[in-house]
Structure 1
């Protein structure tokens, strides 16, 4: 097991700059290649793109991937498929154990040409771990890669939040993302902003594709996963995510992620 990152190593934030490379711009001489790293500091990546596809997931901790105004949380139980050539940025907290699998573009892509969530099932994890073994014989690698491509499927659920950017909704988005315990209703926000509740409702649907209530639930789920992957108890996470009870939190969390909070909790 990887060691935890010492507190003294977490002092400074690190910013990494990567290039934007289009698919086909360089040769990609592999079917699947694996990379992992425990980040020593809070780390951010600039917007960049790769000539290969990526499956982003974590062995430990939660990280963030951003495409435009869409923000995904990546965790041990739910990964993210990032197609080649997709501009994206990201961030991870110190101590996060990143696991990334790179997929060549020589054949048909195993998943859609847009970012999608991927549940990291026990079988999928087993295959990814096998491919990460050093010195894996070529024949074994070929069989394992074929199995991986066969079982890799998009999940009907993902930890995604579309962040509003309009002047009307940005104050709401900033406040709720900064403190998911914020209990102000849509009517409360409309009164504060001096507009009708109907105006806010229409704006949320237009900018995020969902209702204000469902958007708040998604923000709370992302916040909850970040705490669960640090080992917080479910009852503590429920309170920090703005729920009055663990049962109410669990029900809302399952509707959003399709999984129970316990699946994400680090042990």
Structure 2
């Protein structure tokens, strides 16, 4: 997938494990966004409408699992860590396998998938038009330094109203939401290898140390550790780009 390429909102009868062996994916489920480097994948249950996009040039691997023989009971989208073994199994399952070999490999993959909580950057969008207007402004320009009072005037709301709406509709305070938006925007730059100092400036941080501190607070990792190669050895496994998502 080229940078910016998207699969529009769609749904599957099968569970899907959405993963990029290279690059960075963003997956949208009902205006709730997840940003996924190669160290993470998103479990998308059957019947859940979703869309995906490449934040930079990416190779997306789509593994589809029959709910009738799936041992996992995750009914909501779930972020999982992609270990070297999981990466190898995804590559193996993308090949031409007979039925028994596929069943065996799927069973092992399901055993090694482990949910992660803090490692991903989630960005739910508010639904109220005023809060939505503020979110659109900040998504278009993450480095925007204007305070909530100025932004509130621009969308015709009071700061108090916006504070209430962000918490009620996203589960995040306005300040937390803004941090998540900035970190989400930073992902593509970091994955492309841009220096942390330059990325920090691009997304509105005065210093690289402030950016790294915010990144660690949200994900539990420094930017360097977040993009560490969890898929060592994967490149030798058979792969297939998911062109039918």
Higher helix share: 2
Mapped partners of 2:71, 2:15: distance in 1: 8
Equivalent residue of 1:168, what SS?
Answer: helix
Mapped partners of 1:41, 1:254: distance in 2: 26
Q: In structure 2, do the counterparts of structure 1 residues 51 and 185 end up closer, same or farther at CA, with 3 Å as the change threshold?
A: same
Q: 1:54 aligns with which of 16, 27, 31?
A: 16
| Residue 84 (structure 1) aligned with residue 46 (structure 2) | yes
Which has the higher mean CA deviation after the structures are superposed, 202-211 or 137-146?
A: 137-146
| Residue 253 (structure 1) aligned with residue 201 (structure 2) | no
| Residue 222 (structure 1) aligned with residue 184 (structure 2) | yes
| Residue 145 (structure 1) aligned with residue 67 (structure 2) | no
8 Å CA contact 1:49, 1:86 repeated in 2: yes
Equivalent residue of 1:259, what SS?
Answer: coil
8 Å CA contact 1:69, 1:162 repeated in 2: yes
Q: In structure 2, do the counterparts of structure 1 residues 121 and 244 end up closer, same or farther at CA, with 3 Å as the change threshold?
A: farther
Matches within 5 A, 1:1-267: 39-40=1-2, 42-92=4-54, 95-132=57-94, 134=95, 142-157=103-118, 158-265=120-227
Measured after TM superposition, the shift of residue 64 of structure 1 is 2.1
8 Å CA contact 2:125, 2:135 repeated in 1: yes
Mapped partners of 1:241, 1:120: distance in 2: 27
Measured after TM superposition, the shift of residue 181 of structure 1 is 0.7
What whole-Å deviation, never above 9, does each CA across 1:115-167 have from its counterpart, x for those lacking one?
121222333223323434x4668776554433211121221132221112322
Measured after TM superposition, the shift of residue 50 of structure 1 is 0.5
Measured after TM superposition, the shift of residue 98 of structure 1 is 0.9
Q: In structure 2, do the counterparts of structure 1 residues 90 and 142 end up closer, same or farther at CA, with 3 Å as the change threshold?
A: closer
Higher relative contact order (CA 8 A, sep 6+): 2
- Structure 1 portions without partners, runs of 5+: 1-38
TM-score, length basis structure 1: 0.75
8 Å CA contact 2:39, 2:227 repeated in 1: no
- Structure 2 portions without partners, runs of 5+: 230-245
Aligned-residue RMSD, C-alpha: 2.5
8 Å CA contact 2:133, 2:155 repeated in 1: no
Mapped partners of 1:135, 1:100: distance in 2: 14
